[in-house]
Structure 1
């Protein structure tokens, strides 16, 4: 064998998962943890605003300076959430695409569309509430170990359902709460909208935790099946 052929890069073998996906899942998990912490900060700030507003269309006896500080902290919490969410969303979609591409090497017959849809599905209006879920289900099924001879093939997808259900719920409820908060005119309406925002933030925190479990579990399953 010549020296030049020794230096030639070897092609990726089918079923072999690149290390980049495992490095990415660690980074995605870390950013999801940051998102969860930003949600926790927003919950704290929202509860503080909620407690300082009376429910009878009038402000509580708290000084105006304290109310202004609470509103300022609440706005800061919202900005922190955006700064945490944007890079996490970008990196998660990159990881999602790599997982779809790698899983296609393990079971190409499991997918109806090409790997590019693992990115495009997130940006198509309305379809982005369904298509990423279908791709995730297909990846989960393709990565599930095959049963022993004679045993029925059953791929439990509850981690996918839990993650996606929480993600969609938090997204829709968050948009509804944002609309209510933006249209609030009385203190009672502000108080109600903030309570709804707090609920949406709690759902988002739970969705982030479920996303970590889904991502780590799927990566581990794919790695196990590729090495088998």
Structure 2
């Protein structure tokens, strides 16, 4: 299945993730400054403190809402891309694959197992895409390992930020939630960049493998020029 259009849109959405993460870092730093000012008693009047706090909450609410929307839309698109990439790999593979397209996506939703199973599925797709006839001969990819490292950091810090923000009442708790959120935003930038490279390389490898398979089929026409 040709998934060039799907790949191009996935890359565009990853650029959007990078942009919203950068914005989140900026507004997160602004929120941190406000919280520190409140903690250190730098506001001369209560009305000034209230105004600064409300402005910060509104700003973070808007950015947080945009982040949620972008990550939901891009997440659905990325999972669709993984499903198609896995399906294509199965068509190219000379032997059976361990992970089905459904489970290549489904493992992301299984608690605890989602810490390593999706990575194993992606590694299998990567190897088959690079070498359909002998995927086991393909070495482990440092690119995939780096992508998965930042995925884990971003996921765990994002989850921590959500839980901390739910029960944050005091300034120190709000600062902890702010710190976790900024860690998640920082990790989200290399995460999106690395996955962008993975998407492009895997797409290119599958296109090359498909072209080689088509050329090797009996009855295929190979044209030559003098």
Task: Considering fraction of residues, name the structure with more helix.
Answer: 2
Please list the CA deviations of residues 75-118 of structure 1 after superposition, one character each: whole Å capped at 9, or x if unmatched.
11111101101111111111101110111111152511333222
* Counterpart selection for 2:127 from 141, 152, 161: 141
Instruction: Give the drift of 1:127.
Output: 2.2
Aligned residues: 206
Listed as ranges, the gaps of 5+ residues in structure 2 are 213-226
* Counterpart selection for 1:119 from 96, 105, 121: 105
Q: Residue 175 of structure 2 corresponds to which residue in structure 1?
A: 191
Identify which of structures 1 and 2 has the higher relative contact order when contacts are C-alpha pairs closer than 8 Å and 6+ apart. Answer: 1
Conservation of the 8 A alpha-carbon contact between 2:131 and 2:138:
no
- Distance verdict in 2 for CA 1:156–1:114, change over 3 Å: closer
Residues 1:41 and 2:27 are matched in the alignment: no
Conservation of the 8 A alpha-carbon contact between 2:37 and 2:43:
no
Distance in 2, matches of 1:130 and 1:215, equals 19
* Counterpart selection for 2:166 from 182, 196, 211: 182
Distance in 2, matches of 1:103 and 1:89, equals 21
Q: Residue 50 of structure 1 corresponds to which residue in structure 2?
A: 32
Conservation of the 8 A alpha-carbon contact between 1:177 and 1:194:
yes
SS in 2 for 1:122: helix
Conservation of the 8 A alpha-carbon contact between 1:42 and 1:77:
yes
SS in 1 for 2:207: helix
Conservation of the 8 A alpha-carbon contact between 1:96 and 1:118:
yes
The two structures have a TM-score, normalised by structure 2, of 0.82
Listed as ranges, the gaps of 5+ residues in structure 1 are 1-17
Distance in 2, matches of 1:124 and 1:193, equals 25
Instruction: Give the drift of 1:24.
Output: 0.5
The two structures have a TM-score, normalised by structure 1, of 0.82
Conservation of the 8 A alpha-carbon contact between 1:129 and 1:168:
yes
Instruction: Give the drift of 1:141.
Output: 0.9
Q: What RMSD over aligned residues (CA atoms) do the two structures have, in Å?
A: 2.3
